[in-house]
Amino acid sequence: MRIQSLIKTMVATAAFVAASQFAQAFEAKKFDDAAFKAAQAAGSEILVHVTAPWCPTCVSQHKTLSEIGNKPDYAKLAVFNIDFDTQADAMKSFKANSQSTLIAFKGATETGRLVGATKADAIEGLLQSTMKK
């Protein structure tokens, strides 16, 4: 009986840990200049993604970001999506010329950018650049 109780406790604990790690995934938001500037002022780790729903590269990037985003390391990452078709002014402010552009920031400092990258190691390297002090 004690062993069964111990096993149930261990399973429940493992499930809780797995669920809490999954819950830590970042959530992408539509780009808003005020929210972006607030994140910069707070010194946050930020990713800006210039994206379009019709872009197959962007779809692949979203999938990769979704997978990477489940890692606890990125729980505090603020992700802002700029819509290529409707947010031209925001694109200009970032000097982004095309969809599938990823721009990383640590606070107000740009730490890197990628255009057209879909491989997890390249995107994760960009995200890691936001964590350097």
**HEC secondary structure over 14-39:** HHHHHHHHHHCCCCEEECCHHHHHHH
pLDDT at 28 over 60: yes
Higher pLDDT, 24 or 3: 3
Residue from 70, 78, 79, 72 nearest 120 by CA: 70
Instruction: Encode pLDDT of 58-111 as tens digits.
Output: 999 999 999 998 888 888 999 999 999 999 999 999 999 999 999 999 999 999
Cross-strand partners of 109: 106
Measured CA to CA, the distance from residue 115 to residue 61 in angstroms comes to 10
Residue with tokens 């002090």: 133
Contact 116, 64 (CB under 8 A): no
Q: For 1-133, where are the alpha helices, taking DSSP H only?
A: 2-23, 33-41, 56-68, 88-93, 120-128
Work out the percent of the chain whose per-residue pLDDT is above 70.
Answer: 80
| Mean pLDDT, range 30-48, rounded to an integer | 96
- Distant-in-sequence, close-in-space partners of 89: CB < 8 Å, separation ≥ 6: none
What tokens does 103 get? 């721009």
What tokens does 43 get? 């010194």
Question: What confidence tier does 6 reach under pLDDT thresholds 50, 70, 90?
Answer: very low
